Amino acid sequence: MSSDLQADGAADALQPAAVAVAVAQFAAVADPDANLAEIDRLARRAVERGARVVVFPEYSMSFTPEPGQEMLDAAEPLDGEFVRALGDLAAELGVHLVAGVIEQAADRGRFHNTVVALDPSGALVARYRKLHLYDAFGQRESDVVQPGAIEPPELFEAGGLRFGLQTCYDARFPEVTRRVVDAGADVVCMPAEWVRGPLKEAHWRTLTTARALENTVYVAAADQAPPVSAGNSMIVDPMGVELATIGEETDVAVAWLSRERLDAVRRVNPALSLRRFVVVER
């Protein structure tokens, strides 16, 4: 480690944390009410530990191991009962909540795999519809999910940091994260339902860390818990350090993210300013 970064790190340690962020890990079921009860319980645990932003997994609203009619039946518009309940919880706790929901789509035979962010007033302040669907490793998410349109990334601010959104399989496409960072994100929230399988945990850890390193940003990656998903929810800093990690259990993990750390890393590794390419829509 360079003396410059060591000096900056020592200075950071003397400054108050900008914002405490939690990743919350649980195994969602088909019943939205049961999932909402678990979200409520884990959000309160995260707040007790100091969190001001809590990130939940993809498909937190409803999930079955083979996505199909039950999940389609659970789909709601973004002003529906489930998102309103998330907003009420965010307002009660005075925090930002990020979670994966099932949104009704124009094609009523499919739904949008959507991430929403609710602010401490309960308002919906950002949303992201999954772009890259999991048609890989023997799965076909596109059979039931309609991909989102390519739109400008939506951000929200908390504790002086700007937060962006992406989802699960998107981690395998570096340009997704780069677009979010180009829009101004300091932290990328990445809800996931990362299906277990040979080498899949290694892929999860490697890709999550790579997205943080190459963009010099924080990544808050919240996966579902086993047995279907890999677990290993984590918060990674701009130097690729795992600040907080959950193994296979249902739990929350909290880390403190700071502007000072971001600035210190980017002085030593100005990768974003040195790059010579931009992301172009295909």
Structural domain includes residue 247: yes
* Residue span of the structural domain in which 189 resides: 19-267
Structural domain includes residue 137: yes
Note if 189 is an active site residue: no
| pTM (two decimals) | 0.92
Q: Where are the beta strands (DSSP E) in 56-207?
A: 96-104, 111-118, 124-129, 156-158, 161-165, 187-192
φ, ψ dihedrals at 87, nearest 5°:
-65, -40
Considering 76, 103, 168, 214, which one is annotated as catalytic? 168
Measured CA angle at 129 (ends 128, 132), to 5 deg: 120
Structural domain includes residue 282: no
Considering 103, 130, 141, 193, which one is annotated as catalytic? 130
Domain count, the chain: 1
Q: Read off the pLDDT band of 67 (50, 70, 90).
A: confident
Note if 130 is an active site residue: yes
Rounded Cα gap, residues 212 and 262, in angstroms: 11
Structural domain includes residue 280: no
Considering 58, 76, 141, 193, which one is annotated as catalytic? 58
Q: Read off the pLDDT band of 282 (50, 70, 90).
A: confident
Note if 58 is an active site residue: yes
Rounded Cα gap, residues 235 and 243, in angstroms: 6
Structural domain includes residue 14: no
Q: What is the CATH number of the domain that holds 62?
A: 3.60.110.10
Structural domain includes residue 275: no
Structural domain includes residue 229: yes
What is the rounded average pLDDT for all residues in the chain? 93
Rounded Cα gap, residues 171 and 205, in angstroms: 10
Q: Read off the pLDDT band of 128 (50, 70, 90).
A: very high
Mean per-residue pLDDT, 47-56: 98
Structural domain includes residue 104: yes
Three-class DSSP category at 61: coil
Q: Read off the pLDDT band of 17 (50, 70, 90).
A: low
pLDDT in tens, 211-243: 999 999 999 999 999 999 999 999 999 999 999
Contact between 188 and 218 under an 8 Å Cβ cutoff? The reply is yes
Q: Is the peptide bond before 227 cis (omega within 30 degrees of 0)?
A: yes
